[in-house]
Amino acid sequence: MRALIAGNWKMNGLTEDAKALAAGLKALDGQGESSAELLVCPPFPYLGLVAQQLAGSRIALGGQDCHGAAAGAHTGDTAAPMLRDIGCSYVILGHSERRADHGETDVQVRGKAESALAAGLVPIVCVGETEQERNAGQALNVIARQVKGSVPAGMEAERLVVAYEPVWAIGTGRTATPADVVEVHTEIRRLLVGLVGEGAQSVRILYGGSVKPDNAAELLSQANVDGALVGGASLKAEDFWAIARSA
Ligand code: PGA
């Protein structure tokens, strides 16, 4: 399976930063050293700009969220068809920061994923336990609840990506151990088989949480790890590229 290396820029940077980062990535893409599929998810105001900058490169564009409805009276929200219209092919959904900051529930995340699919986008559905949940031995139960609740049932598996992001590893410099990652990813694969059937073998399951150039190769070589969702390190073109090269 071709790895997917996705950069989540979160709420960082202004016009000049977005331009410079996109230009840096496009220049590195020109060197053609990564066989992975590459994706960047800039903040909404810069999607159009980054789309223009990346035109002609192999780097795909994604949103960081979308609404569950295709249009309508939802002030401040962005619809999946708008993301598609502006050149996105992916959208990150149910990131733990949205679950925490905006109280997003599994039901809402599933609605967003259905809307994304209907618009022709590939949803990247994020799941992950908190440190407290892991310490209480609940990690796999939390993951199971989130996967079953957030992933639309009976969908075409090749149009789905799931990202495992332990909340305690995001932006902290701590990563899950390879053994923990394999355990959770294997469980996610098993759960997906129950939801979408044998096609689940072709769902890419990304790891996210402090992925850096110096730990990417080890994490990406583990069973059932089909790519990475990269936050902080995706804000430096060289670092993102180093991660992409290790896939
Ligand atoms: P991080 O973020 O790489 O900065 O830990 C990952 C994410 O939240 O997607």
The response to whether residue 206 sits with its C-beta less than 6 Å from ligand 1 reads no
Query: How many angstroms separate the alpha carbon of residue 171 from the centre of ligand 1?
Result: 5
Model pTM? 0.97
pLDDT in tens, 9-34: 999 999 999 999 999 999 999 887 78
Question: For the chain, which residues make up each domain, given as ranges?
Answer: 7-33+47-58
Instruction: Provide the pLDDT for residue 180.
Output: 96
Q: Taking the mean position of all CA atoms in its chain, how far away is CA 105?
A: 17
pLDDT band, residue 213 (cuts 50/70/90): very high
pLDDT band, residue 198 (cuts 50/70/90): confident
What CA–CA distance (Å, rounded) separates 198 from 206? 19
Query: How many angstroms separate the alpha carbon of residue 55 from the centre of ligand 1?
Result: 25
Instruction: Provide the pLDDT for residue 155.
Output: 76
**Which atom of ligand 1 sits closest to the CA of residue 208?**
6
The response to whether residue 94 sits with its C-beta less than 6 Å from ligand 1 reads no
Burial class (CB in 10 A: 0-12, 13-18, 19+), 21: buried
pLDDT band, residue 153 (cuts 50/70/90): confident
Mention every residue, 6+ apart, whose C-beta is less than 8 A from residue 185: 164, 205, 207, 222, 223, 224, 225
The response to whether residue 229 sits with its C-beta less than 6 Å from ligand 1 reads yes
What CA–CA distance (Å, rounded) separates 103 from 100? 5
The response to whether residue 163 sits with its C-beta less than 6 Å from ligand 1 reads no
Tell whether the model's pLDDT for residue 227 goes beyond 80. Answer: yes
Q: Which of 24, 17, 14, 19 is nearest to 244 (CA)?
A: 24
Comparison of pLDDT for 163 and 31, the residue scoring more = 163
Query: How many angstroms separate the alpha carbon of residue 73 from the centre of ligand 1?
Result: 31
